[in-house]
Amino acid sequence: MDENKIPLHIGLIMDGNGRWAKKRLMPRSYGHNAGMNAMIKIAEHAKVRGVKYLTVYTLSTENLLRPQEELDGLYGLFRKYFTKNVQKLYSSGAGVKVIGDISVLPQDVQTLLLDGEKNSPKDCAFWLIFAINYGARAELLRACNLAIEKGEKLDGKSFGNYLYTQGVPDPDLIIRTGGEKRLSNFLLYQSAYSELYFTDTLFPDFDESELDKAIEEFSKRERRFGKIN
Ligand code: IPE
Ligand code: IPE
Ligand code: MG
């Protein structure tokens, strides 16, 4: 693998948990649990490969319309991650960030997420960014309204300061598992020049070698950013 062509920032649309569970005649929560385990392994591997930011699409604004039982199961997984697994990430010198409107989540989950960010080491070599109740349209409207409130006229540079992803470079590569070929409201502004990679693999089956395959494919893409080579 060409180390000069490792994406600095990967966005990961972790889709297919429900179908993975259905294939096993299990409830959707079983798939989400397996998806969380897959995400933990992928984050470790991304870090080993030299990726600096991994943004995992964990819950979209539209996902909030799912049955409360499924959402409660997901909140339980967030509780588990942010009490137990996050420590391991910290001790490896990595940190977490959260993007999205978490104010609608149960109070204890909000506190865990905010503490998770606060307790992250400074100057991390790797950031795991959870997109939770995240939607690009809501993010863009929020940014515009914040700027209007301040009376600030925006330009390409200052606009980024109003986005949840402030300070994080745009994703170089966006991976979507689960077979659908769409972005489903994920990082629409930031993905203007991202390379897109789609795989039929359902997220719980997306392992280290699958991530390597995506990075390998990325390394072969010619990124022109509108210019001619
Ligand atoms: C992605 O898996 C995880 C979330 C959206 C929370 P899905 O739950 O969408 O799984 P499928 O697409 O139904 O298989
Ligand atoms: C996208 O998956 C959201 C996450 C992976 C968190 P969805 O399953 O919600 O997307 P659609 O409904 O197939 O577009
Ligand atoms: Mg889905």
User: How far apart are the C-alpha atoms of 71 and 55, rounded to whole Å?
Assistant: 20
* Residue-averaged pLDDT of the chain: 97
| Ligand 1 atom closest to 60 (CA) | 5
Pocket probe for ligand 1: among 13, 19, 70, the residue whose CB has the most ligand atoms within 8 Å is 19
Asked whether the CA dihedral 70, 76, 79, 81 is positive or negative, the reply is: negative
Å from CA of 15 to ligand 3 middle: 5
**Alpha helix locations (H) across 93-187?**
107-118, 136-150, 156-159
pTM: predicted TM-score of the whole model, two decimal places = 0.98
User: How far apart are the C-alpha atoms of 62 and 185, rounded to whole Å?
Assistant: 9
Please choose, from the candidates 132, 149, 133, 43, the residue with its C-alpha nearest in 3D space to the C-alpha of residue 89: 43
Strand residue runs (E) in 151-201? 173-176, 195-198
pLDDT tens by residue, 31-50: 999 999 999 999 999 999 99
The order of strands in the sheet holding 126-134 is 94-99, 126-134, 53-60, 9-13, 173-176, 195-198
pLDDT at 120: 97
Q: Supply the Cα-derived Rg of the chain in whole angstroms.
A: 17
Please choose, from the candidates 176, 202, 214, the residue with its C-alpha nearest in 3D space to the C-alpha of residue 45: 214
| Ligand 2 atom closest to 14 (CA) | 5
Task: Please give the share of the chain, as a percent, with pLDDT higher than 90.
Answer: 97
pLDDT at 4: 74
Nearest CA to ligand 2 atom 8: 15
Where in the sequence numbering do the catalytic residues fall?
15, 63
In one-letter notation, the amino acid at residue 141 is L
Tell whether ligand 1 has an atom less than 6 A from the beta carbon of residue 165.
no
How would residue 157 be classed by pLDDT, with cut points 50, 70 and 90? Answer: very high
Tell whether ligand 1 has an atom less than 6 A from the beta carbon of residue 7.
no
Query: 62 with 135: CB under 8 angstroms?
Result: yes
186-193 CB contacts, 8 Å cutoff, 24+ apart: 186/11, 186/13, 186/57, 186/60, 186/131, 186/134, 186/136, 187/11, 187/55, 187/131, 187/136, 188/136, 188/137, 188/140, 189/136, 189/139, 189/140, 189/163, 190/11, 190/163, 190/165, 191/11, 193/223, 193/225
Q: Is residue 174 over pLDDT 80?
A: yes
Tell whether ligand 2 has an atom less than 6 A from the beta carbon of residue 14.
yes
Which ligand has the shortest distance to the CA of 78? 1
Tell whether ligand 2 has an atom less than 6 A from the beta carbon of residue 74.
no
pLDDT tens by residue, 66-106: 999 999 999 999 999 999 999 999 999 999 999 999 999 99
pLDDT at 3: 72
| Ligand 2 atom closest to 59 (CA) | 6
Tell whether ligand 1 has an atom less than 6 A from the beta carbon of residue 63.
yes
Q: Is residue 205 over pLDDT 80?
A: yes
pLDDT at 2: 73
Tell whether ligand 1 has an atom less than 6 A from the beta carbon of residue 66.
no
pLDDT tens by residue, 181-194: 999 999 999 999 99
How would residue 208 be classed by pLDDT, with cut points 50, 70 and 90? Answer: very high
Q: Is residue 1 over pLDDT 90?
A: no
User: How far apart are the C-alpha atoms of 170 and 116, rounded to whole Å?
Assistant: 23
126-134 and 94-99 as β-strands: parallel, antiparallel, unpaired?
A: parallel
Please choose, from the candidates 55, 56, 50, the residue with its C-alpha nearest in 3D space to the C-alpha of residue 8: 50
Q: Which chain residues have CB less than 5 Å from ligand 3, an ion?
A: 15
Quick one: average pLDDT of 15-41? 98
- Only one residue has tokens 């994703």, namely 171
